[in-house]
Amino acid sequence: MASSRRALALLALPLLAASPAQQTPAPSPTPYEAVDPFIGTGGEGHTFPGAVAPFGMVQLSPDTDAECQIRECYAHAAGYRYDDPTIAGFSHTHFSGAGHSDLGDFLVMPVSGEAVPLEPGDARVPGSGYRSRFSHDGEVARPGYYAVTLRDAGVRAEMTAGTRVGVHRYTFARGKAAHLVLDLRRSLYNYPGKTLWSSLRLRPDGTVTGSRRTRGWAPDRQLFFAMRFSAPLKDHAFVSTEKDVAYKGFQGPGRGSDAVAERQGRALVGRFDFGRLEGPLEVRVAISSVDEAGAMTNLDAEPGGFDAVAARTRVAWEQALGRLDVAAPAPMRRTVYTALYHSLLAPSVAGDADGRFRGPDNAVHRAAGFTFRSTFSLWDTFRAEHPLLTLVQPAATTSDIVRSLLASRRASPDGILPVWQFQGRETWTMIGYHAVPVIADAYLKGIGGFDADEALAAMVASATYAPYGGLGDYMKRGYVPIDREPEAASKTVEYAYDDWMIARMAEKLGRRDVAATFDKRAAYWRNSFDPKTGFVRARKSDGAFRTPFDPTAINYGSDYTEGNAWQYSWFVPQDQAALFRAMGGDGKAIAKLDAMFDYDNSQLDYSHAEDIAGLIGQYIHGNEPSHHVAYLYNHAGAPWRTQARLKQIVDTQYKPAPDGLSGNDDLGQMSAWLVFTALGFYPVTPGSLEYVIGRPFVERATLALPGGKRFTVVADGLSDANPYVGRVTLNGEPLARSYLRHDEITAGGELRFTMRSRPNRAWGKAAAARPYSISRR
C-alpha cells in the first residue's frame, strides 16, 4: 500500500515530491486522489483494484487466482488478492465485493520474447506458463487506472476503462518481440464444463471479435467482445485445446494451421504477435451481452487511445466523487472516499451504446430512452446502497435503475422482478423481492421516468408468484413453512417488509385495495416471531416452531439465510416498535441488543459459512442482516447506545488497508453503510423517508444537491474522546428527534452535531422522537 501510494504521489504531484525542503503541509488530496482501490482486495472485501468508470460495464482488472474449484474460489471472487505473488492476466469483468462469483471474461496477458506459452502455468513455478510474478512496488491503483510491472513477462502493464471499453497499454521489454495471449478458457469460479462454447475471429480490418457462452452463476450467459490493437498484427494463432471431441465435423480454410480467420470450440486460446515494437502497444476492448456487432458499436462509441479514455474517466470520477466534500483526518477521509467509490460501481451499465441489451429471457431487447443496468445484488443493496445513490447521484441514475428493473421484469420468463441479476441474467441468489423497496423508495422520493402503475403491477406480480421461494404457502398461511421451504424464518420477515413497501407504493397511487392487502401481509413477521424465546424462528406447516432451536447455529439452507436467530430477529424495519413490544418492551429490546453485541463468541466456529465475517459477539457486520441493527437503539429511545455501537463497529470493521473491509463489499452495500454512518445517519427503513441519526465520523461533509443546494453535516468537537452526541441542530434549530427526514436533506441546510465524552441519555428518548414504526404513527 505504502509503495503504491508513493507511486501515485510521484505521478500526481511531481513538483511537491521533488521538493522535500518545502515545509508547508501538502494540500489535502482531492476526493479522486483520496480513493484507494486496494482497500478490500485483501481480507474479506472481494473488491478488485483494476480500472473501471463509474457504473462501468467493463471492469478491467488483474486476476491473480490460481486454478480453483468452486468452493476454493471464494477468496478470489474478484480475481485479485493483494497477497498473491503472480498475475495470470487482465480480464474485463469483475464484481465488486460479491460473495459468490463468475465473470473474469476475456483474459489478456502480455508476453515478451520468443517463447509464447499458451497455458498459465503453475504459480509456484516461475516461467512455467504465461503467468508472471509481480510486486506492489510500482503497482498503482486509482479510479479508472491501474498499473503494474510484470516481472516474468518483462512488461509494464497499464489499464484504463471507459463505460463500455477497456484499454490496455503494454510496454514490452526493449528489443523483445511483443505478444498477447487471449485465454477464453479462464474464468472466475471456473470448473470443468463451465464454458459451453466460445469463438474467436480475426476480421479483415484487424479487429478481433469473439464470444463465450458459460454455465456459471448465471446458468447461461453469453458475452461478446471486440478488440483492436494500436500496432499491426504480424501473426496470430487460434488454438483449441479441447480433448475428446466426439465429432469434429469438416475442417475449414487453413486446414492444419492455427492462423485461421475464425475458430470455435469449448477451450480456445488466441495468440497475437506484433514483433518488436518501438513504443507501447495499446489494446482497445469493448464487450457486449448482445452480439459482436454490439461490441464493435460500443468500441466505436468511445473513441481515442489510452490517454484519452483515461482522461475522460478521470473527469467522470472527479465529478461523481466531488458531489461529497469531506473533511476528516486522512485515514478516515481515505476510508470514506474509497467507500463512496465502491458504492458507485453497481448497478453497472449492461446495455449497449445502441440501447440493446440481453434480458432474463436470454433474448435481445432495446432500452428506449434509458441506459439498461444490471448487477443487482438486491438482497444487499436495497438497504443503504440504493438510498445512497438517490442522494449522491443525479436522479437519472436511480431512474435508470428502476427502468432497468421494470424492463427486466417485462422480459422475465417468470414475470417477476430481478432477484440477483447480472448482465441481464438471473441467478436466483438470496431471498426476497427486494427490487420492491428499491423501486418504492425511489418513487416515494420523487424519482420519475417510469410508469408507476406498471411498477406497482410488477411488485404485486413478484409478491404473488406462488412458485417463488415459498410464496404460495406464505400467502396461504401467513408464513413460509420450514418443512416446505428452506430459510423460512428469513423469508417470512423479509417478505413482510417488502409487502409493507408495496402497500406504501399502492397507497401513494391511490390503490387502497392493494394497500390493504399488503398492509395485512406486512404484519406477517409476527407469525415467525416466538415470544417465548424472543427470537424470529422458522415455523412448520403444522404451526409449531421447528426444534431443536439453537439461536447461534448458522448453516446454508437452514431456518435462516446466511445467519441465525440473533441477526434475523431484528428484521422488522417497517415496525420496530411493535417488534420491541413483542420482545417485552424497550428495556428488554435494549438488553437483547446489548446481549447480541456482547455475546461471547469465542467458542463458535462459523468458518464453514463463507459470508460470516466481521463478528462483534453475534453482530456480524460482514453480512447484511446486521447492518441496521446498531441503529435500532434509537427505536428504543436510547440513541447513545447506537452511538457507542457505531464507534465500536467503525473502529473494528473498516480501515484504509487491503484488508480494510470486514466482509464482502457486496456491490457497495458495506461501503454505503460506511458513507451514511460517517455522515451521521442511516436509512434503517427505506421507504419511510427517514434516516436514523447515529453519529458522524467526519468533521464536516457537504453533499452537493440538485439546483445548487448543499446539505452539510458538521461535527463539532469530534474526537476519539468525544464519541457521543450531545446536541443536534438542523439549520441552527435544535433537533429533538433521532431521525432526519429525506426532504430535510434535499432542501439543503446544515445538520450540526456537538460531540462530547459522555452520553446524552435524554436526547431521542421520547416516543415522538423515535424513528419510523407503523405502530407508532
Catalog residues that contact a second copy under the rule CB under 8 A.
70, 189, 191-194, 196-197, 199, 201, 203-204, 211, 213, 215-220, 245-247, 249-255, 257, 259-262, 264, 291-293, 361-364, 413-416, 420, 426-429, 465, 467-469, 485
Q: Which residues contact 660 (CB under 8 A, 6 or more apart)?
A: 39, 40, 43, 45, 335, 338, 654
Q: Min. distance of Cβ 23 from a second copy in angstroms? A: 59
CB 425 within 8 A of CB 217: no
**Nearer of residues 358 and 445 to a second copy, judged by Cβ:** 358
Q: Min. distance of Cβ 684 from a second copy in angstroms? A: 28
Q: Min. distance of Cβ 299 from a second copy in angstroms? A: 15
**Nearer of residues 355 and 759 to a second copy, judged by Cβ:** 355
**Nearer of residues 88 and 471 to a second copy, judged by Cβ:** 471
**Nearer of residues 416 and 644 to a second copy, judged by Cβ:** 416
Cis upstream peptide for 110 (omega within 30°): no
CB 463 within 8 A of CB 457: no
Residue located via cell numbers 459468490:
100
Q: Min. distance of Cβ 199 from a second copy in angstroms? A: 7
Q: Min. distance of Cβ 303 from a second copy in angstroms? A: 23
Task: Dig out the grid coordinates for 703 from the structure.
Answer: 453533499
**Nearer of residues 429 and 729 to a second copy, judged by Cβ:** 429
**Nearer of residues 176 and 213 to a second copy, judged by Cβ:** 213
Residue located via cell numbers 415467525:
528
Q: Distance between CA 173 and CA 180 in Å, rounded? A: 13
**Nearer of residues 380 and 485 to a second copy, judged by Cβ:** 485
Q: Min. distance of Cβ 264 from a second copy in angstroms? A: 5
Q: How far, CA to CA in Å, does 707 sit from each of 394, 401, 561, 748?
A: 11, 22, 42, 10
**Nearer of residues 428 and 599 to a second copy, judged by Cβ:** 428
CB 59 within 8 A of CB 80: no
Around Cβ 368, how many Cβ atoms within 10 Å?
A: 8
Q: Distance between CA 403 and CA 416 in Å, rounded? A: 14
**Nearer of residues 33 and 426 to a second copy, judged by Cβ:** 426
Task: Dig out the grid coordinates for 29 from the structure.
Answer: 488530496
Closest-CA residue to 185 (of 250, 274, 88, 60): 88
Q: What values do phi and psi take at 737, rounded to 5?
A: -80, 155
**Nearer of residues 192 and 548 to a second copy, judged by Cβ:** 192
**Nearer of residues 208 and 735 to a second copy, judged by Cβ:** 208
Distance from chain centroid for Cα 441: 19
Q: Min. distance of Cβ 367 from a second copy in angstroms? A: 16
Q: Min. distance of Cβ 421 from a second copy in angstroms? A: 12
Q: Distance between CA 734 and CA 216 in Å, rounded? A: 54
Q: Distance between CA 498 and CA 419 in Å, rounded? A: 13
Q: How far, CA to CA in Å, does 608 sit from each of 81, 217, 502, 556, 681?
A: 20, 20, 36, 9, 34
Closest-CA residue to 631 (of 643, 619, 615): 643
CB 198 within 8 A of CB 181: no
**Nearer of residues 288 and 746 to a second copy, judged by Cβ:** 288
Q: How far, CA to CA in Å, does 419 sit from each of 249, 416, 637, 714?
A: 41, 9, 35, 38
**Nearer of residues 191 and 549 to a second copy, judged by Cβ:** 191
**Nearer of residues 248 and 532 to a second copy, judged by Cβ:** 248
Helices H / strands E in the chain, number of each: 21, 38
Closest-CA residue to 272 (of 337, 358, 179): 179
**Nearer of residues 257 and 533 to a second copy, judged by Cβ:** 257
Cis upstream peptide for 347 (omega within 30°): yes
Q: Min. distance of Cβ 466 from a second copy in angstroms? A: 9
| Parallel/antiparallel/unpaired status of strands 177-183 and 195-202 | unpaired
Q: Min. distance of Cβ 572 from a second copy in angstroms? A: 26
CB 230 within 8 A of CB 158: no
Q: Min. distance of Cβ 390 from a second copy in angstroms? A: 29
Task: Dig out the grid coordinates for 269 from the structure.
Answer: 486460446
CB 552 within 8 A of CB 560: no
**Nearer of residues 223 and 281 to a second copy, judged by Cβ:** 223
Q: Distance between CA 521 and CA 289 in Å, rounded? A: 38
**Nearer of residues 157 and 260 to a second copy, judged by Cβ:** 260
- H or E segment and range at residue 282: strand 281-288
Coil, strand or helix: which one is 368? coil
Q: Distance between CA 224 and CA 34 in Å, rounded? A: 35
The single-letter code of the amino acid at 395 is A
**Nearer of residues 187 and 623 to a second copy, judged by Cβ:** 187
Closest-CA residue to 677 (of 319, 332, 376, 395): 332
Phi/psi zone of residue 510: left (φ > 0), alpha (ψ -120 to 50 degrees), beta? Answer: left
Q: Which residues pair with 149 in a beta bridge?
A: 156
Q: Distance between CA 48 and CA 704 in Å, rounded? A: 28
The single-letter code of the amino acid at 363 is A
Q: Would you list the DSSP string of 537-579? A: -PBPTTSPBPSS--TT---TTSSSSSS-HHHHTT--TT-HHHH
Around Cβ 319, how many Cβ atoms within 10 Å?
A: 14
CB 701 within 8 A of CB 325: yes
